[in-house]
Amino acid sequence: MIDWTPYLESISEKYAQWETFYTLTDVEGKTRPSKTAPLLRDLWVQTIEKERENPQERAERPEKPERFTVLDGLRKYATNHVLLKGRPGSGKSTALARLLLEESVGTQSLRLNQQNQAKIIQIPILIELRLYETSILDLILQFLKRHKLIIDSNTLESWLLENQNFRPLLLFDGINELPSDTARQNLKNFRQQYAEISMIFTTRDLGSDDLDIEKKLEMLPLSEAQMRDFVKVYLPEKGEEMLKQLGNRLKEFGQTPLLLWMLCSVFDNNQNKIPANLGLVFQGFTKEFDIHKRDREGVKISENLRRWQNRLLQHLAWTMTTGENPTEIKLSISKNQAEEILIEFLQGKISYPDNTALEWLEDLLKYHLIHLEGNDKIAFRHQLIQEYYTAEELKKKLPHLRDEQLQWDYLNYLKWTEPMALLLGMLEKKADALRVVELALKIDFRLGARLAGEVKKDWQRETIALVLGLNLPQFFTILLLGETRSDAAIPGLLKALEDSDSNARRNAAFALGKIGSETAIPRSLKALENSDRNARRNASFPLGKIGSETAIAGLLKALEQSNRNIRGKAAAALGKISPETAIAGLLKALEQSNRNIRGKAAAALGNIGSETAIAGLLKALEQSNRNIRGKAAAALGNIGSETAIAGLLKALEHSDEDVRRYAAEALGNIGSETAIAGLLKALEDSNSDVRWKAAFALGDIKGLPKNKLFMLKNNNHSRSVGGRGRWLPPPSNFVVELILYIINQVFLCKCIWN
């Protein structure tokens, strides 16, 4: 039997920084930057709707996306495998690192007594796919070895196949980082061979293989409130000034936690100035990281290396990205390979290139944005950093590339998309930028549209004109305008928002939400007043996506409209934004005479999840309309606060069975032992649905004293679980034994996460 204790202790020690900080150091780094970014605990994901064969067809009943905090979503779907997609730097790897830490700590703290029937323990293992060389099993063995557990491949395979008491939770980071098609096929085969094991996968949202995984989650962009909070925590004295300078550009630069952190770092060390574009943010960040790391550790490097370091890193990144064939990208290489690359590069340029290359590589590893990771591999600290240095090298080569060469050797392959996007923000000549976009549109419409929105702001009217000049059907034109994420595309989309064709209006609304610019807010708010209900629904979508304070103010005002449909759509949009600012308006909407408005306001308050809303929601439990009471109870469960328990326990005794059912479910979501007595009493409810909800709610509560249930076996019960005695006989012992069985089953499922 494998002793997992040393492994779990090693994980808890080496990943401890992920409990509090978001850093760009090695995941297992022993040191922490002098100024770390606050960890964003409330990053959100939502389920991805299954793609239809014909994208122009509208689903009769479109699936409503579910939203979760990122760790809750991963835990919910890991059993049957889940794929987490997101933009570069959106927090996918951070989420896996935190999940690894939390599960390791949770497993160590699990105390099993002799009477506990749940003896299944979850063992999390992180598999960084960029390190792939021979097989998935070897990657797992390497990770275990780095954390004080040495076993052979036969032992590992036996455990993966049997795993009776200690079940694996495999965390695969970076499908898009696999070095070859062979590696991707091996991963797909591994997933099929061990289909019964819980697995989580991450990848960029950039056309990579999804391994045929059915359940997919996507990282949601940071809300404006999250961005502002992040900036103020990282820069307590300068944050307000930075936000003032950014103005409407906050979303442009703060799309992901990584980019926002880099921007804060550059602003802090750049005389409180905001760089003009994303490429300059990378330039400033790489420079400041280098200087501050050396200064902090009191190390002086030679002036020669200082002059050469950017060229060395650019050449190293270029060679790794180029790979050995057009589709391959290397995100890690052996130290020997890195030495050979630098030696060859320095030949004929300096004296003693061999010794100098070795010395400079050691200094770069210590004081710059490359590091050593598992199995003596060298990698950049984030794939985006490698892509930035690749873009710098591509910038030097661009004038010498023929059109055909640029198209077929670079624009034609996915691995060059991010470097090309960064390059366009750094180009100094408009003609060069227009050339790249025009050539990209001839290769791939979506790629060209994406790159059209990456050029400097002053040139985007002309690149958007190139997209419009394709003269494609309206459906595809609207889709491509959304792909640009450019303000220059908004006038055309606003025009489409008023089109007579309902599909055009809907697609334009989706595209506006994707762009997320405040420019679209006034027209969208006006569209909320349209007499056509579909137009109102379409208008609410971008408002919910944009999520700025400007949108909130307009939506709160819309809650006061005389038209109930407008008020309803405004409440729904506010729920999607999820800002604390909206709570006061939504609480007021709970007092509206129209029940639909009250219901949507209650649901929106649940989405926001703030304790500030609890008092109003508890009051809503007393509404005469049972739909409102039900939604209020569900919202209280979503908030998940102990403060809500007293009101929910009272709702368990309500005369309306729907309210009792919702209250039982909400108490299960909160999972507090305080609710046990009330839920035990609810096991005797006259309604079967209430009894079932109470049983499952009890199963969700850790530390439930099951002896209380055993005591119930001696009591007389006159009702069957089935309700009205239709399908189960009434013996009392059977009822309680069934409830105990349900709770034990829930424990068996839940214990692996707690």
Tens digits of per-residue pLDDT, 616-671?
A: 787 777 777 777 777 777 778 777 667 788 888 888 888 888 788 888 888 887 87
Segment 157-164 long-range contacts (CB within 8 Å, at least 24 positions apart): 159/2, 160/194, 160/197, 161/194, 163/197, 164/120
Average pLDDT over residues 390-398: 97
Residues in a beta bridge with 171: 126, 200
Residues contacting residue 504 through CB under 8 Å, at least 6 positions apart: 474, 475, 478, 496
Residue environment code for 695-733, b if the CB has 16+ CB neighbours within 10 A, otherwise e: bbbbbbbeebebeebeebeeeebebbbebeeeeeeeebe
pLDDT the model gives residue 337: 96
Which is higher by pLDDT, 593 or 402? 402
pLDDT the model gives residue 132: 93
| Location of structure tokens 């209280």 | 636
User: What are the sequence ranges of the domains in the chain?
Assistant: 5-52+63-219, 388-479, 480-676
**What is the rounded CA–CA span in Å between residue 383 and residue 448?**
22
Residue environment code for 520-547, b if the CB has 16+ CB neighbours within 10 A, otherwise e: bbebbbebbebeeeebbbbbbbbbbbbb
Contact 31, 16 (CB under 8 A): no
pLDDT the model gives residue 752: 39
Strand order in the sheet with 216-219: 67-69, 44-47, 216-219, 82-86, 198-204, 166-173, 121-128
Please provide residue 430's backbone torsions phi and psi, each rounded to the nearest 5 degrees.
-60, -35
Could you say which DSSP state residue 84 is in?
A: E
pLDDT the model gives residue 547: 60
- CA-to-CA dists, residue 641 to 330, 636, 646, 751, angstroms: 46, 8, 10, 21
**What is the rounded CA–CA span in Å between residue 323 and residue 312?**
17
Contact 68, 45 (CB under 8 A): yes
Q: Domain 5-52+63-219's class?
A: alpha beta
Q: What is the DSSP string of 632-651?
A: HHHHHHHHT-GGGHHHHHHH
Number of Cβ within 10 Å of residue 75's Cβ equals: 23
Top mean pLDDT of 222-226, 405-409, 680-684 is at 405-409
- Cα-based torsion angle of the residue sequence 286, 28, 16, 97 in order, rounded to the nearest 10 degrees: 80
pLDDT the model gives residue 187: 97
pLDDT in tens, 650-663: 888 888 887 888 88
Could you say which DSSP state residue 58 is in?
A: P
Element (H, E) at 341: helix 335-346
Whether the pLDDT of residue 536 is over 90: the answer is no
Comparing CA positions, the residue from 688, 634, 639 lying closest to residue 659 is 634
Residues contacting residue 344 through CB under 8 Å, at least 6 positions apart: none
Q: How confident is the model at residue 174 (pLDDT cuts 50, 70, 90)?
A: very high
Q: What is the largest CA-CA distance in the chain?
A: 95
**What is the rounded CA–CA span in Å between residue 294 and residue 288?**
10
pLDDT in tens, 428-487: 999 999 999 999 999 999 999 999 999 999 999 999 999 999 999 999 999 999 999 999
Q: How confident is the model at residue 575 (pLDDT cuts 50, 70, 90)?
A: low
Could you say which DSSP state residue 408 is in?
A: I
**What is the rounded CA–CA span in Å between residue 83 and residue 70?**
12
Query: What's the whole-model pTM score?
Result: 0.71
Whether the pLDDT of residue 516 is over 50: the answer is yes
pLDDT cut 90: percent of the chain above it: 36
Which is higher by pLDDT, 746 or 143? 143
Residue 149 one-letter amino acid: L
Write out the two tokens for 109: 């703290």
Burial of 602 (0-12, 13-18, 19+ CB in 10 A): buried
Decide whether 5-52+63-219 matches 480-676 in CATH topology: no
Which is higher by pLDDT, 690 or 601? 690
Whether the pLDDT of residue 120 is over 90: the answer is no
Strands (E), 206-305: 216-219
Is the domain defined by 480-676 classed in CATH 3.40.309.10? no
Write out the two tokens for 329: 């990208």
Which is higher by pLDDT, 46 or 714? 46
Contact 543, 569 (CB under 8 A): no
